[in-house]
Chains A and B, each alone.
Chain A
């Protein structure tokens, strides 16, 4: 199972951390948001990193999932799990319908279209006050329970969120190594060439768009139940940008890169809080330095560096063996 080595390592880390620090703020609180962000980033990375389709409106799907869960549980009294399924069904349908017209566009035009999608969803959330509670938000969302086991403490949320994150990572790894994953990468390389090789690019693109939307919707439902309160500004344009930053920072076309990016971008502001007024400035400077010195992404860059160092020690070094497809980080 060499292919899933990274996943095992991540699982081990996730299990050990709370055993070592059961009452640490960074483990039980910050790591939970980091895991949530990781779910979103991994989904977005399938779209951006592998298929090369940029999305500046990913927060919209996150918001649709969250609001479906919130509205269906508080106003119609449905149980949270059915609500989650309803959210994914709705998000999946919207993504499927939107995919055809939107994915015909390329480059900047695609970015603009997804941006518009994000803004439209934002406006709908604010304006349909009777349903969503408008800009004041929607409260009283019930907690999740699993076989009579209520997810109400931080530690329980940690377990649930990490489990879902690991599941999503596993699914993403499997998709990438499957036939459709290879089709995605071919698509990223050249759409015309991919079509020449018999790949139905429309189906492939629509598929990955829907999968990314579904994972965002799942994250949204979890978020709604965890916070018990949601308001439109959690799903705005800036959050979409944050997600794109996570993917790019971690290293495009690398699932663990996306996870890594999500963790770095969640933990960094928490750690920089002590600088008070200079927080944002230092944060910006760190991001800039990272992109200047590790343009291929933090995770991918560090991993390649480590590999080179290891090989230099093991002389005589064979030519560096890099798994194909893992390092396609040139285009965005």
Chain B
């Protein structure tokens, strides 16, 4: 057989193989995802992707959804909004996925919203900003708590302790800035006065200047909004300066890493966080407890310490799967309607009750107020 013949044979068999593959693909449900698996937001995207893969495999071995297998099509955005738009286009136009679960960062989610709305495809975002669902967009849903809820939860706890004047210090990244504007918007409604409004840069290594200014105000508590190393430095500096005020952090530091970084200074810090962090300390009557322990155990047996971010991917995936089951197929409009009808779904982030006016469906009870004691989380009652 000469080379030309071999090539022709190869080509034909490749074509046959392709069409066979497509025939199989007809019976699958395609779930698209774009996540920040690498880059500065990898701590979000990495556990999210692992969770999606783990649970999609499990669903498939159990026989799939409505007798159809799930297929995950995912791309790594590196945390960049522009890449996210490109990959979302690819998911919709080339891979022709049935639904999208993804978008690790608020920036990447907000960037693809115009596209998703135009091409009418159900999209569950895994990012934090309240802007994603407020105002409500027909095809866009999200599962993580919003920064507005975090601010509200913190204010609720402050009012219980009789705190009326606070000093705010926030990071200059997207998370810190968005949190800052929510705090400033919500404080007057809650009867809380922000007497000092400081910020720090993403790479700052010392915040004593800002904290010295705060010390000279009549604030009764300090609230720090940010993630990464910044909040840990703030915590250390507060103690070094001998400031005795109660210190609140946002849900952005809800990981063991924060306690490691801040060390002994973290004692007494309060923050709102998802119940996943304290799954084993929840009372047995808590409806989330069983699920949280199961997810934690499964994730940790395979990949190491659990984070709330992977939990968001679980919630997004399961809400989608239930909606497809109820819709009896992958018709995009029907699936969208069914996602909107999600009621009483127990997820890792809380109990979801979505509605046409609420595409998140969580209330303040989804957050637990935690206090760090002896290097571990405890629930504040």
Residues of A within 8 A of B (CB): 25, 28-29, 33, 126-127, 129, 134-137, 139, 152, 154, 227-229, 231, 233-234, 239, 270, 273, 279
Q: How far is the CA of A178 from the CA of B107 in the complex (A)?
A: 44
B75 nearest CB neighbor, chain A only: A273
Q: How far is the CA of A228 from the CA of B106 in the complex (A)?
A: 16
Are B178 and A136 within 8 A (Cβ)?
yes
Minimum Cβ distance to chain A for residue B82 (Å)? 4
Which 8 residue pairs spanning A and B have beta carbons closest together? A228-B114, A135-B174, A25-B94, A234-B82, A231-B81, A25-B93, A229-B111, A29-B89
* New A-B contacts (12) at CB < 8 Å, excluding given A137-B81, A231-B81: A29-B89, A135-B173, A136-B106, A136-B174, A137-B111, A139-B113, A154-B93, A228-B115, A233-B82, A233-B107, A239-B82, A273-B75
Residues of B within 8 A of A28 (CB): 93
B106 nearest CB neighbor, chain A only: A136
Are B177 and A136 within 8 A (Cβ)?
yes
23 A-B pairs within 8 Å (CB atoms) are namely: A25-B90, A25-B93, A33-B86, A129-B181, A134-B177, A135-B178, A136-B110, A136-B131, A136-B178, A137-B81, A137-B110, A137-B111, A154-B93, A227-B111, A227-B114, A231-B107, A231-B110, A233-B81, A233-B107, A234-B80, A234-B81, A270-B86, A270-B90
Task: Say yes or no: A231-B86 contact (C-beta < 8 A), given A25-B93, A135-B174.
Answer: no
- Confirm or deny: B378 has a beta carbon within 8 angstroms of a beta carbon on chain A: no
Residues of B within 8 A of A279 (CB): 76
Are A233 and B80 within 8 A (Cβ)?
yes
Residues of A within 8 A of B80 (CB): 233-234
- Confirm or deny: B250 has a beta carbon within 8 angstroms of a beta carbon on chain A: no
Give the one of A25, A28, A136, A137 with max B CB within 10 A: A136
Q: How far is the CA of A115 from the CA of B241 in the complex (A)?
A: 38
Residues of A within 8 A of B89 (CB): 29
B residues 92-118 with Cβ under 8 Å of A?
A: 93-94, 106-107, 110-111, 113-115, 118
Residues of B within 8 A of A135 (CB): 107, 173-174, 177-178
Chain B residues bordering chain A, tally (CB within 8 A): 27
Residues of A within 8 A of B353 (CB): none
Minimum Cβ distance to chain A for residue B270 (Å)? 26
B residues 135-180 with Cβ under 8 Å of A?
A: 172-174, 177-178
Q: How far is the CA of A137 from the CA of B118 in the complex (A)?
A: 19
Interface residue SS majority, chain A: helix
Residues of A within 8 A of B348 (CB): none
Residues of A within 8 A of B131 (CB): 136
Residues of A within 8 A of B94 (CB): 25, 29
Are B107 and A136 within 8 A (Cβ)?
yes
Residues of B within 8 A of A154 (CB): 93
Minimum Cβ distance to chain B for residue A24 (Å)? 9
A-B CB pair tally, cutoff 8 Å? 65
Residues of B within 8 A of A29 (CB): 89-90, 93-94
Residues of A within 8 A of B85 (CB): 227, 229
- Confirm or deny: B129 has a beta carbon within 8 angstroms of a beta carbon on chain A: yes
Minimum Cβ distance to chain B for residue A206 (Å)? 31
A238 nearest CB neighbor, chain B only: B80
Interface string of B303-328 (1 = CB under 8 A from A): 00000000000000000000000000
Q: How far is the CA of A279 from the CA of B75 in the complex (A)?
A: 11
Residues of A within 8 A of B111 (CB): 137, 227, 229, 231
Residues of B within 8 A of A228 (CB): 114-115
Interface string of B23-65 (1 = CB under 8 A from A): 0000000000000000000000000000000000000000000
Task: Say yes or no: A134-B174 contact (C-beta < 8 A), given A229-B110, A231-B110.
Answer: yes
Q: How far is the CA of A277 from the CA of B182 in the complex (A)?
A: 38
Residues of A within 8 A of B106 (CB): 136
Minimum Cβ distance to chain A for residue B80 (Å)? 6
Q: How far is the CA of A229 from the CA of B85 in the complex (A)?
A: 10
Q: How far is the CA of A204 from the CA of B6 in the complex (A)?
A: 60
Q: How far is the CA of A197 from the CA of B172 in the complex (A)?
A: 52
Residues of A within 8 A of B172 (CB): 126-127
Give the one of B75, B81, B131, B177 with max A CB within 10 A: B81
Q: How far is the CA of A284 from the CA of B235 in the complex (A)?
A: 41
Q: How far is the CA of A137 from the CA of B76 in the complex (A)?
A: 20
Minimum Cβ distance to chain B for residue A129 (Å)? 7
Residues of A within 8 A of B129 (CB): 136
Task: Say yes or no: A129-B177 contact (C-beta < 8 A), given A29-B89, A29-B90, A139-B113.
Answer: yes
Minimum Cβ distance to chain A for residue B358 (Å)? 20
Residues of A within 8 A of B107 (CB): 135-137, 231, 233
Minimum Cβ distance to chain A for residue B368 (Å)? 27
Residues of A within 8 A of B178 (CB): 134-136
Give the one of B75, B107, B172 with max A CB within 10 A: B107
A280 nearest CB neighbor, chain B only: B38
Q: How far is the CA of A15 from the CA of B144 in the complex (A)?
A: 46
Q: How far is the CA of A234 from the CA of B85 in the complex (A)?
A: 11
Q: How far is the CA of A126 from the CA of B93 in the complex (A)?
A: 31
Minimum Cβ distance to chain B for residue A216 (Å)? 16
Residues of B within 8 A of A129 (CB): 177, 181
Q: How far is the CA of A229 from the CA of B115 in the complex (A)?
A: 9
Q: How far is the CA of A126 from the CA of B90 in the complex (A)?
A: 28
Q: How far is the CA of A126 from the CA of B202 in the complex (A)?
A: 13
Q: How far is the CA of A134 from the CA of B106 in the complex (A)?
A: 12
Q: How far is the CA of A279 from the CA of B82 in the complex (A)?
A: 18
Q: How far is the CA of A234 from the CA of B113 in the complex (A)?
A: 16
Interface string of B194-226 (1 = CB under 8 A from A): 000000000000000000000000000000000
Minimum Cβ distance to chain B for residue A83 (Å)? 17
Residues of B within 8 A of A126 (CB): 172
Q: How far is the CA of A11 from the CA of B173 in the complex (A)?
A: 44
Q: How far is the CA of A279 from the CA of B38 in the complex (A)?
A: 12
